[in-house]
Each structure stands twice: as structure tokens, then as C-alpha cells.
Homo-oligomer: A and B are copies of this chain.
């Protein structure tokens, strides 16, 4: 049922070696036109499909790359995967996708499995700031590109949205609306996005003349609706109605905030403005529709894939820089000026 190169060669009346050359774009030039045509015809007739294992065994390449995400069910990641897959498949690579379920051990397992499959390279969206598995893989010389989240020390190329600018735009928008007392529910401290957005927040708040008070920040332990809600309760219990706006570490956290506001009889944006981050699908369908930072996830996936493909093609050495893509605040209904008599420096 699955024909081999030998069979194709026989049918075309040539040696398997010749058939190989005729079928391979790279070496096709070494073979006479007539032979190429005959071999191709034979291949077609037998619906020949080269055996990628045999080829890989010989060439020591698999034309497979691994894509590792922390949670495929998080709407953030499918677009990244799609973008990457598009570029990679166009370049002849097949993707092995692994879901770590936000568990560093499962990330390490995935790397093991993927390396057992001899993937040519890795795209990893699950990196923690201090990620032994990533470091080990990188040190082992496996081409690896990080997405969205980067590691602190290991010099691994990464492609990400511009967190700094995204937060800056959010804070600026709120300040322009008249807010002065703006809180931040930051993402997990073990993730680069968590700390970098938090850092950007403190910076922006100072820069733009809003209140700079540690009491206005609370860290979430995970990027989830529940954690967002928990942190929102803690924050509101602590600062009361002093804060007039909240910048959430991401959209899930923002949704948690919205839930808590409803639970406490507060109305967004009248009593409190809320800004998310990522602009996940359906965030425009919430009520109020969420003001949030749109991140071009598909582009990020594409860019990471391109970086990897270039790396694998070996033209230039290992890329080492972080590539940052621009992001845009999308203003919707969850932000408005603070109510009368509020929003003044506290």
C-alpha cells in the first residue's frame, strides 16, 4: 500500500539512488530532465510518499518542531500556535504540540518526549522566569525560541508583545480620563509577564503623576478568573473605595474583578474602571465590554516560527535578541472618568 523508493525506481527503470536524486528538489539538477520526468511519473502512479523516518535517520533531521504551551484551553495560545504552524508548515516542518497544563514537571516531560522524537527545534510559550528545563534544553544546543514569557537569566531568544508599552497605554488612558488612584492586580511573580507588567505599571504611574503606593498592588498566583476575584477582594478590602481604576494583569484577572464588582453591588465603569490585557476572544461581548490591550498573538507565533526557521536553516548563527511586537489599547466600555469628587491624589 505504501510504496517505497525502490519500487518507484524499478518502475522508472532506474537505480534507487537516481530516483532519490530525481525526487529531491535539491539534487534534481544532477539528473537528466527525461529521467526526472519518468521518475516523477512513476512516483505519482504509485502515489509514493517518502518515508520521513528513513530520511530522518539518514539526514539526522526530522523537519519536526515542538510547540510547548502551558494551556491550550487558554484562548491566548491557539492563535499563537496557528501563527507558528502556518509559517512552519510552509517551511516544510510539522508541529508537535505539547500542553504542560502549567506544570513545570510536565514541561520537562514534554521536552523529554520531544527530544526523543528528535525535533529540530522548539517553540516554548510555557517558560517560567527561572526555568531549569528551558535552560537545560538550550544548553544542550537545541534551537529554542520563547514566546510571550521569557526566562530571567538564560540567553534564549524570545518573541513577545510590548508589555511595557501596553501597560503604559493603559495607565495613560486612565490618567487622561482623570484617574489618579489606580490599582494593579499583577500576574504571577514566577512569570516574566507578571513582573514586567508590574514593573511597567509602577513606572507609568510615577511617570504620569498618579499615586505610587504599594498598597495599590496585589499579585495573583495564577492567571485565572478565580485568582483575579480573590485578589480583587483583597485589594478592595484593603483600599476601600479609594482606588478608582484597576489595571489587571490579564483578561482572566479582569473578568474576576468584574465578577467581584457585581458581587459587591458596584458598577463598572461608574464605580471602578477596569482594564484587561491580551484582548481574548469575546472580551468585546462582556458587559461592560472590556477595555484591554490587544496583543497580536498570531503575529507573535509567526515571528517566533520565522526566527526558528532562520535559525534552523543555519544561515546566521543563533539569534539571541528578544523581539518585541507592538500592542494597542482597545478602549471599550469598562473605563470611564471617575465619579465626581473622586480620582484626586490620595
**Could you tell me which A residues sit within 8 Å of B by CB distance?**
1-2, 49-54, 56-57, 62, 64, 72-73, 75, 78-79, 81-82, 85, 89, 94-99, 112-113, 115-118, 140-141, 255, 258-259, 281-282, 285-287
Contacts and interface: CB of A to CB of B under 8 A. Distances in A.
Given A53-B53, A282-B282, A140 B95 contact: no
Contact of A286 (B115, B118, B287): B287
A61 B73 CA distance: 30
A72 B81 contact: yes
A116 B52 contact: yes
A144 to B, nearest CB: 15
Q: State the copy count for this chain.
A: 2
A95 B99 CA distance: 11
A92 B118 CA distance: 16
A57 B49 contact: no
B72 A75 contact: no
Contacts of A118: 2, 51-53
Contact of A1 (B62, B141, B282): B141
B141 A117 contact: no
B113 A94 contact: yes
Nearest to A69: B78
Contacts of A96: 94-96
Contacts of A53: 53-54, 56-57, 62, 118
A274 to B, nearest CB: 13
A79 B113 CA distance: 21
Contacts of A98: 85
Contacts of A51: 57, 118
7 contacts: A52-B117, A64-B117, A72-B82, A95-B96, A259-B285, A282-B282, A285-B286
A64 B64 CA distance: 12
A141 to B, nearest CB: 7
B97 A95 contact: yes
Given A53-B53, A94-B117, A72 B78 contact: yes
A255 B285 contact: yes
